[in-house]
């Protein structure tokens, strides 16, 4: 966590940039060991976190800062990165971290979905107040163990031409 | 074409709405107003074909839920179709999959 | 240019993050008025610029900083953003800006492609030395004029269901 | 599957290499070593099927150019197929489209 992030983004709180932020995160997750569906879910969690900041934190003001930091979260046995750590920060209204629980799973209704999605998708989710102002959301998602041979050995010879890893 | 469109057509025994591209907080207001316009026509059936939607977040879900409520009040049958796996996943995570009629493709709609 | 960028990214010079950077830029370009093929070309120009910094500027060191700044470049008649301005900076070896011309168009051979691609894809391309160390590449691409009605009016009614804008 | 694969199959009257995903500076070394391995077998024909490649940068181009040179030395016929518009665009920008035999799909290869 203290290590410099591999990617650090400052963006304005305009929904027009949500797609850029989540495409970056989804694409980086792909390279950090996740499959397409997992990447899409991780991108969704980031999207929901940004939407909540824009909507609840900044009351839809489109010109306030949001910071996203990205680190690889670990290494698998062959030394390749395998997991993603994300920290999303704002300087918006502070709320009690334990108020951000997400709705109960069996309370089926629209709304109250964002926090629920974030907690459902990511392995670790921690909300905290930043020192001076604003909130910090720290999230980690571990990549599933890779089966089969490592990537550089995954070239297969056969009519189907598809590897198993 | 410089932004994605929302197609609206008379088909499948009602009106078929076909949004294109990602439905997120930036684009869901556009879908909401298109769906409101269709609901105002009180068709027997309203189909939202998501075949051209690659991604949707909870603002897209909220838009569809609002549409379903209005449709119900009008006795319009609302059907969703064409979801890819990624869109399907968010319906599942939100546990809203059971609240919509969901069929694989437009062609699977009876009476279309 | 003096205005704060809408998105500012600091990333390490590791090729593993190229895809994230270009997906962000491609996706933002989509929202700033470009079609899919144009977005892909703009993403390519950014990719080539980053590759050149990693390869020629940092001699493939994977832990050096690169900065990318993004602004919308203009507005169309209905006030929607229509164009993208990108600035890419490093603290790597400085080279004479006018040495970065790209190969001649009729000199067909592999290599020497990056600068050529950047100049071919973008409308304005300016290399400069930064004050203390490193280079700055400033690029602008204008979106083509939109024909037809504005986006919010582009909902069409018909069997085909496709608008013209 | 956690990273994209490179498929290699005996087909189309030679060996068909089918890389998957984006070919950029991070992934082209992998493609380069796969193509070198295939060239070492000196097949009569080497087909690179780009149908599963969504994007390619100049490092991918350089990899294909190197492969073509080696293939030529071996009298191996090298053919590219399956390019989407975005991949096609970079061949055009680089003016290298004329230096490769490019056909639409694997099925368009004569004698396959
Ligand atoms: N970043 C945030 N800043 C301030 N309040 C937040 C933030 N995220 C969530 N909240 C609060 O938590 C509640 C639940 O959020 P969420 O699960 O996303 O549902 P919804 O946004 O539909 O209300 C919100 O209504 C809001 O009060
Ligand atoms: N960011 C950069 N920093 C330093 N030198 C650069 C940079 N970009 C390009 N160059 C120089 O310009 C030349 C041409 O670059 P380019 O057109 O990308 O072709 P290639 O990378 O294949 O040599 C490079 O060989 C290098 O000497």
The answer on pLDDT for B2 being more than 60 is: no
Q: Which domain holds residue D35?
A: 3-106
User: From ligand 2's centre to the CA of C38, what distance in Å?
Assistant: 23
Give the pair of three-digit tokens for residue B1: 């074409």
- pLDDT above 70 as % of chain A: 81
CA A136 to CA A130: how far, in whole Å? 6
pLDDT for the residue numbered C160: 38
In a domain, D86, yes or no: yes
Give, using CA atoms, the residue closest to atom 15 of ligand 2. Answer: C112
Q: pLDDT tier at C163 (50, 70, 90 boundaries)?
A: very low
Q: What is the mean pLDDT of residues C76-81?
A: 84
At C149 the pLDDT is 42
Structural domains counted in chain B: 1
The residues lining ligand 1, judged by C-beta closer than 6 Å to any ligand atom, are: A 52-53, 56-57, 92-93, 95, 100, 102, 111-116, 135
Which residues in chain C have their CB less than 8 angstroms from residue D90's CB? 44, 117
Which pLDDT band, with edges at 50, 70 and 90, does C103 fall under? low
CATH number for the domain that contains residue B21? 3.30.750.24
- What is the distance between the alpha carbons of residues B81 and B50, in angstroms, rounded to a whole number? 6
Q: A101 — alpha (psi -120 to 50), left (phi > 0) or beta? A: alpha
Report pLDDT for A133. Answer: 95
Using DSSP's 3-state secondary structure scheme, residue B45 falls into strand
Give tens-digit pLDDT for A133-147.
Answer: 999 999 999 998 765
pLDDT tens by residue, B30-87:
999 999 999 999 999 999 999 999 999 999 999 999 999 999 999 999 999 999 999 9
Residue B72 lies in a domain: yes
Does D38 fall in a domain? yes
Structure tokens at D83: 């390019």
Of A16, A26, A28, the CB nearest to C17: A28
Taking residues C79-95, report their average pLDDT.
94
Instruction: Output phi, psi for C66, to 5 deg.
Output: -130, 140
Class of domain C7-164: alpha beta
Within a 10 A sphere around the Cβ of D85, how many other Cβ atoms? 10
Q: Which of A98, A114, A136, A137 to mutate to test the pocket of ligand 1 (most atoms within 8 A of CB)?
A: A114
Domain extents in chain C: 7-164
The pair of structure tokens assigned to C128 is 């400069």
Of D24, D66, D93, the CB nearest to C18: D24
Protein residue closest via CA to atom 6 of ligand 1? A56
Task: Assign A152 a pLDDT band (cuts: 50, 70, 90).
Answer: very low
Phi, psi at residue B90, to the nearest 5°?
A: -75, -30
Percent of chain C with pLDDT strictly greater than 90: 69
| Residues D86 and D55 sit within 8 Å (Cβ to Cβ) | yes
The whole-number mean pLDDT for each consecutive block of 10 residues of chain D, a chain of 112 residues, reads: 76 95 96 97 98 96 95 97 95 89 92 63
Closest residue in chain B to residue A119, using alpha carbons only: B93
Chain A residues in contact with D10 by the CB 8 A cut-off are: 157, 159
For the stretch D40-49, pLDDT in tens is 999 999 999 9
For chain A, the helix, strand and coil percentages under 3-state DSSP, each to the nearest 5: 30, 25, 45
Q: Does A100 touch chain B (CB under 8 A)?
A: no
Place of tokens 């869901």: B28
Percent of chain D whose pLDDT exceeds 90: 85
Of the candidates A46, A119, A125, the one whose C-alpha atom is nearest the C-alpha of residue B94 is A119
Selection from D48, D47, D61, D53 nearest residue D93 by Cα:
D61
Residue B79 burial by Cβ neighbours in a 10 Å radius (0-12, 13-18, 19+): buried
Report the mean per-residue pLDDT for chain A. Answer: 86
């Amino acid at each position: 966590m203290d290590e410099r992030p591999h990617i650090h983004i400052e963006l304005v709180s305009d929904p027009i940039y949500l797609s850029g932020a989540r495409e970056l995160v989804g694409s980086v997750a792909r390279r950090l060991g996740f499959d397409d569906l997992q990447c899409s879910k991780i991108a969704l969690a980031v999207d929901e976190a940004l939407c909540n900041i824009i909507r609840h934190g900044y009351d839809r003001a489109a010109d306030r800062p949001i910071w996203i930091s990205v680190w690889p979260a670990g290494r698998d046995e062959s030394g390749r990165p395998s997991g993603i750590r994300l920290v999303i920060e704002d300087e918006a209204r502070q709320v009690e971290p334990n108020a951000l629980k997400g709705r109960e799973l069996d309370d089926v209704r629209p709304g109250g979905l964002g926090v629920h999605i974030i907690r459902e998708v990511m392995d670790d989710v921690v909300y905290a107040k930043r020192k001076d102002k604003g909130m910090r959301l720290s999230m980690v998602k571990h990549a599933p163990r890779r089966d089969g041979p490592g990537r550089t050995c995954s070239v297969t010879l056969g009519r189907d031409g598809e590897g198993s890893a | 074409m410089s932004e994605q469109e929302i197609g609206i057509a008379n088909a499948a025994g009602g009106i078929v709405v076909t949004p294109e591209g990602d439905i997120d907080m930036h684009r869901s207001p556009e879908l909401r107003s298109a769906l409101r316009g269709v609901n105002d026509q009180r068709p027997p059936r309203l189909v939202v074909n998501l075949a051209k939607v690659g991604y949707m977040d909870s603002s897209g879900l909220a838009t569809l839920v609002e549409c379903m409520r209005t449709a119900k009040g009008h006795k319009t049958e609302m059907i969703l179709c064409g979801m890819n796996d990624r869109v399907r996943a968010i319906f599942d995570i939100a546990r809203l999959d059971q609240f919509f009629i969901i069929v694989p493709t437009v062609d699977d709609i009876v009476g279309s």
